[in-house]
Homo-oligomer: A and B are copies of this chain.
């Protein structure tokens, strides 16, 4: 069984947990605290970042986009209807565009700022800096409106079928939601899309993440928020 080296509050790791659950791919989990810069972990992934997927017989897959492509290349076809990267070249392009949107743009402008200031600084002992938190809270509104705009034209974020894009986007949003910082009133369609993703069985595993001294916002695991 493949092993996912992850951290519960790493958005990229969270998206892989959702994706594996959707695809019916069993995983073993090993938790890594990337800020400790453990030598053994750096030997596996010199960038020092989660997630890392260890697959049989001797494959080490590092980094979210390479792992997503790898999972599709090794398991996609066998998934049939549950495949999360579509077959058509133009459809794949749109799934990858939206996946990158959240893994890069949303991460840079929102989720990285919130996670570093509000969650990781608790472990590393720093105190949260309000500047980045304020910036993230302003930036997230544009992203919610963009999700809403897309959802008025499509069934899911990158097309008619559930894809990597929905689960990656929801993984990033789930961490901001954990901190109670998603202004869901900004866009009704965006909220409705998130409710649909959140109510999927794959999402349940995320609700149980707890860290000492950290209580999720009341909306976090609620279906009616």
Contact = CB atoms under 8 A, between A and B. Distances in A.
Given A74-B89, A89-B70, A146-B46, A100 B59 contact: no
Copies in the assembly, this chain = 2
B47 A90 contact: no
A92 B69 CA distance: 9
Contact of A96 (B63, B92, B97, B100): B63
B47 A93 contact: no
Interface residues of A, number: 23
B97 A62 contact: yes
Interface string A37-78: 000000000110000000000010111011001100110000
Nearest to A66: B96
Given A66-B100, A70-B93, 12 more contacts: A59-B90, A59-B93, A61-B93, A63-B100, A65-B65, A65-B96, A65-B100, A66-B97, A69-B93, A69-B96, A70-B89, A74-B89
